[in-house]
Structures are given as C-alpha cells and as structure tokens.
C-alpha cells in the first residue's frame, strides 16, 4: 500500500472515531446537575472518612461501637448544615472554632 493510500485510510479512521452529539440546553443542565451531585457525594464521603481513619489510627478508636456512633453523629451534623441551620459555611466554621478552638484555614 502506498504512503498516500495509508494516510487517506488513517484520516478516514480518525473521522469515524470522533462522534458528535447534539444535546438540548435542558439535557446539558441535567447532566451538569448529575455530575455536581456525584462529585459532591464523593467529596463528602472522602471528607467524612478522613476523620474516621484518623480517630482509628492516631487516637486508638478501635471499638466497633464508638466508630459507628461517630459516623452517625457526623452524618447528623452534616444534615443539620444541609437543612440550613447555619447561614453558610463560613458561619459554621466560625461556630466550630468558637466551640472547639479548632480552625481550618484555606491553603495558599
């Protein structure tokens, strides 16, 4: 096969692999919302799992009773935040700092 024929064959193959989809604005909005919800769920799972692992590894919470109770308490607190018990995340962070003395600061 000649070099030119090979280049034409590759060009046709590349075009066939590229698919184009037409979506309505509503479909795009639904997909965005689904992806945001999925990303949020994944972030929450990670952010709630980190303290659980630290409690287990660093502070010796090995109990099959205390760790699930901790998970439930964290989930309940998260739900209170979602339900609007606090104006925004900054108000909540300020409240947590006042109560616990602990503060998380955004890195630069």
State residue 28's pLDDT score: 95
Torsion angle, CA of 42/46/76/98, rounded to 10 degrees? -130
Q: How much is the pLDDT for 42?
A: 93
Domain boundaries, the chain: 24-100
- Give the pLDDT of residue 18: 64
Q: Which pTM was predicted?
A: 0.57
Residue linked to tokens 């109990």: 63
pLDDT score, position 17? 60
Per-residue burial over 6-42, b if 16 or more Cβ lie within 10 Å, else e, is: eeeeeeeeeeeeeeeeeeeeeeeeeeeeeeeeeeeee
DSSP letter (8 states) at residue 2: -
What is the model's pLDDT at position 100?
A: 92
pLDDT given at position 14: 66
Residue 4 to residue 9: CA distance in whole angstroms: 9
Low-confidence ranges of the chain (pLDDT < 50): none
């Amino acid at each position: 096969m000649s070099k030119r024929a090979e280049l034409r064959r590759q060009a046709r193959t590349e075009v066939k692999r590229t698919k184009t989809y037409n979506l309505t604005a509503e479909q795009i909005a639904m997909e965005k919302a689904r992806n945001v919800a999925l990303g949020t769920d994944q972030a929450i799972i990670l952010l709630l799992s980190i303290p659980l692992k630290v409690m287990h590894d660093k502070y010796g919470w090995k109990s099959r009773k205390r760790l699930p109770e901790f998970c439930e308490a964290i989930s309940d607190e998260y739900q209170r935040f979602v339900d609007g018990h606090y104006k925004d995340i900054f108000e909540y962070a300020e409240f947590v700092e006042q109560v616990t003395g602990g503060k998380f600061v955004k890195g630069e």
